[in-house]
Amino acid sequence: QVQLAESGGGSVQSGGSLTLSCAASGYTDNSASMGWFRQVPGKEREGVAAIDRDGNTGYADSVKGRFTISQDNAKRIISLQMNNLKPEDTAMYYCVADSPGSPASLLLRAGRLPLEPDFNYWGQGTQVTVSS
């Protein structure tokens, strides 16, 4: 059973920084792609960033140049460094991971951000609040 455990959410003022982390456990195959989605109550979830086993990354246009996703493959941990945070970044952030054979890695190699259906596993979420 794959489990994802997020940490690092919190409250920060506009212009500040936060780092989210997600540890994956239960994988028998270490080839999974992982990433982050976020959701504001009443709105659809949106992809934020993702990374595959080889380090190919994808970002939402709204966070390019401000957020950086990275990974520690050995420990199966991903991090999301969020700089210059804005009030519109306020959301619940979810760590996601795919199953072997999913199209997520192919999309990332093409420079595209995978979509919600490309990920099979979801964390419980961690809240990020940015005040103006």
Q: Are 60 and 78 in contact (CB under 8 A)?
A: no
> Mean pLDDT across the stretch 37-54?
95
Q: What are phi and psi of 77, to 5 degrees?
A: -125, 135
pLDDT of 92 above 70: yes
> Mean pLDDT across the stretch 63-77?
93
**Would you state the structure tokens that stand for residue 4, as one six-digit string?**
């994802």
pLDDT band (50, 70, 90) for residue 101: confident
> Mean pLDDT across the stretch 66-91?
95
In this predicted model, which residue has the larger pLDDT, 131 or 101?
131
Q: What pLDDT, on the 0 to 100 scale, is given for residue 31? A: 72
Q: d(Cα 76, Cα 22) in Å, to the nearest integer?
A: 8
Q: What pLDDT, on the 0 to 100 scale, is given for residue 32? A: 82
> Mean pLDDT across the stretch 40-56?
95
pLDDT of 29 above 70: no
The CA-atom distances, in angstroms, between 32 and each of 6, 60, 75, 85, 116 are 17, 20, 13, 28, 15
Considering the chain, what is the average pLDDT of its residues? 93
Tell me the per-residue pLDDT of 106-122, one tens digit each, with 9 for 90 and over: 999 999 999 999 999 99
Q: d(Cα 51, Cα 36) in Å, to the nearest integer?
A: 9
Residue 12 CA to its chain's centroid (Å): 19
**Would you state the structure tokens that stand for residue 107, as one six-digit string?**
């999309």
* Residues 55, 3, 47, 13, CA torsion sign: negative
Residue 110 CA to its chain's centroid (Å): 18
